[in-house]
Structure 1
Amino acid sequence: MAEPIELLIQGRAHELTPGFAVRRLLPNMKRRTVGPFIFLDHFGPLDVPPGGDGMEVRPHPHIGLATVTYLFQGGIFHRDSLGHAQAIRPGDVNWMTAGSGIVHSERTEPEMRQHGFRLHGIQTWVALPKAHEETAPRFEHVPAARLPAWHEDKTGLRLIVGTYAGRTAPTTHFSPIFYIAAELPAAGRVGVTAEHAERGVYVSAGTATIGNRPLGVGDLAVLAAKAPIDVVAGSEGARLMLLGGAPLDGPRHIWWNFVSSSKERIERAKADWKEGRFAKVPGDPEFIPLPEGRRPSGNVL
């Protein structure tokens, strides 16, 4: 029988802001993308005491991608250069299409910081197809109640973005994609269909097994193509993110928060941010300076 896992990626620690560490799964030297997903960060669980900082990500720019934030615990307050100011809570989705350019910040609300809380979630970036890289920026907040949710036996699933098993999420998407949050009880099982060309399974809590391969928190299993795969939870259950879709329509360059099929476009974005030509975020006057010391924009995905 063919091996169901093509590649196993284990997250590496990365400090997003001082004192706020994340596990970064994508991009990885062995595998840059899974479908259109080019970036996957798992943050927390982080216990923030009363008066603690939580998440304080100052305004910063993006082009050529969409960001997807999904929380298991806690909350984040989003502001962007289009004027949106939106809290996100567990089970909701913040989908931000950067396209030709957007600036946003992600911060902990004062009320949460005052009382203390636990923060736990996933942030991913989705590369836009070449035809949509310069689309007008937009922001969508989709409450959990509007997302397709169902059970397979005792496993609960919620479709965050895209299409899967005859269901479609209301979240905007630009190419074939699926992104699912799955909650498995002890020894629970979920099948991953073969309808999408590229698929991955990420363990955010608990343990699981695919075939004979045990998986723990921080493991991203890139699945072999063209065959349905079963995932079985361990004795304490598991929380999984199922993700993937069609491969990208060509290579991408990535530099800092910029993604594009054109190196020249990234250089223009760098200059625009440095010279202050991006739009400002109403209500949040701070910003993250261009990281001058980073390597040139020749990193191709």
Structure 2
Amino acid sequence: MIELLIEQRRRNLGGGMSVGRVLPFAKRRMVGPFIFFDHIGPLDLVAGIDRSVDVRPHPHIGLSTVTYLFSGEIMHRDSLGYAQAIRPQEVNWMTAGSGITHSERLEKARAIGDHLHGIQAWVALPTADEESAPSFTHYEGNDLPSWSDGGVHGQLIAGSAYGLTASARTHSPLFYVHLELEARATAEIPSAFSERAVYVAKGEVEIGGERLVAGQMAVLKQGASSVSATQPSTVMVLGGEPVGERFLYWNFVSSSQDRLRQASADWKAGRMKLPDADDQEFIPLPEGDPAKPS
């Protein structure tokens, strides 16, 4: 059932904030349209933390960012003028399209402390939508269908699965699900998509007799499959249809390397607007050649 097992790799974002990078991976850059998958925390943050822990303003093109938390709070601000706190079991869905800038700040933690744990994923846009107008939408409550059955407690974040459809506007066929599994509970994994993966955020599970622990992603072969918990576990299930080859450089995704060069030049020259409510301290373009994307 498992085609490839991916271990998260720790990446320091600066200021004491680190994440577990899962996608892209050398042997598997994407799963369906999912081109980026970071495990945030779990991390205890004390009141009065320095602003260096914040993710300062930075740009995106050609993708949608999907932020989903199990605990804690992050304040999103962007160049469209949106300011929206993201809290557990809610979704901030930001489509960069032709270009957007945003920041992610830990304002609640700075004020009173916090326990931060969640996932940020990037969904690559189909070629026809890469240069669409940027947009931002926040989803919660009935926008995110949920269910409980046989020790499986699920929430559909995006797309269609388990006979449900979430409200988030997606640009290609996909599904993205949060499952809380009680010990010995089993959940079927949607099979109507050509590419699928399971990520364990907490606990331990089995797929086809193979064990997965927290921090591991299993990319699945096609066909029917299920995931069973050997202990209480938090699991993300995701997948969809491929959108074609994509180049990734820093925070930019595109089917064109020339577009990566243009976006890099625009950011470096200050031609991309910063979030109105943020200060002007932004993340600079890293060293490297956009013509040789990672």
The TM-score by the shorter chain falls in which range? Answer: over 0.9
The alpha carbon displacement at 1:8 in A equals 0.5
Instruction: Give the whole-Å Cα distance in 2 for the aligned partners of 1:120 and 1:145.
Output: 22
Q: Is the 8 A contact 1:254 1:297 kept in 2?
A: no
Q: Is the 8 A contact 2:264 2:290 kept in 1?
A: no
Matched, 1:241 2:236: yes
The alpha carbon displacement at 1:295 in A equals 4.4
Q: Deviations over 1:196-255 (max 9, x none)?
A: 111000000000011121100110000101x12111101x3110000000012x211110
Secondary structure at 1:283 match in 2: coil
In structure 1, the partner of 2:54 is: 56
TM norm structure 1 = 0.94
Q: Unaligned stretches of 5+ in structure 2?
A: none
Matched, 1:20 2:14: no
| Alignment partner of 1:232 out of 222, 228, 231 | 228
Q: Is the 8 A contact 2:186 2:228 kept in 1?
A: yes
Q: Is the 8 A contact 1:152 1:190 kept in 2?
A: no
In structure 2, the partner of 1:192 is: 189
Instruction: Give the whole-Å Cα distance in 1 for the aligned partners of 2:141 and 2:283.
Output: 31
In structure 2, the partner of 1:286 is: 281
Identity, % of aligned positions: 52
Matched, 1:100 2:98: yes
Matched, 1:10 2:4: no
Matched, 1:137 2:134: yes
Secondary structure at 1:202 match in 2: strand
Q: How does 1:208-223 map to 2 (within 5 A)?
A: 208-223=205-220
Matched, 1:274 2:268: yes
Instruction: Give the whole-Å Cα distance in 2 for the aligned partners of 1:88 and 1:64.
Output: 22
Instruction: Give the whole-Å Cα distance in 2 for the aligned partners of 1:229 and 1:42.
Output: 24
In structure 1, the partner of 2:246 is: 252
Q: Unaligned stretches of 5+ in structure 1?
A: none
In structure 2, the partner of 1:77 is: 75
TM norm structure 2 = 0.96
The alpha carbon displacement at 1:112 in A equals 3.0
Instruction: Give the whole-Å Cα distance in 1 for the aligned partners of 2:245 and 2:129.
Output: 15
Instruction: Give the whole-Å Cα distance in 2 for the aligned partners of 1:63 and 1:296.
Output: 13
The alpha carbon displacement at 1:18 in A equals 2.6
Q: Is the 8 A contact 1:254 1:298 kept in 2?
A: no
Q: Deviations over 1:90-118 (max 9, x none)?
A: 00000000000000000011x43222110
Runs of 4+ in 1 over 3 A off after TM superposition: none
In structure 2, the partner of 1:31 is: 28
Instruction: Give the whole-Å Cα distance in 1 for the aligned partners of 2:288 and 2:63.
Output: 20
Instruction: Give the whole-Å Cα distance in 1 for the aligned partners of 2:98 and 2:289.
Output: 23
C-alpha root-mean-square deviation of aligned residues, in Å?
1.2
Amino acid at match of 2:207: I
Instruction: Give the whole-Å Cα distance in 2 for the aligned partners of 1:128 and 1:298.
Output: 20
Instruction: Give the whole-Å Cα distance in 2 for the aligned partners of 1:39 and 1:112.
Output: 25
Amino acid at match of 2:27: K
Q: How does 1:140-219 map to 2 (within 5 A)?
A: 140-219=137-216
Instruction: Give the whole-Å Cα distance in 2 for the aligned partners of 1:112 and 1:157.
Output: 27
Amino acid at match of 2:276: P
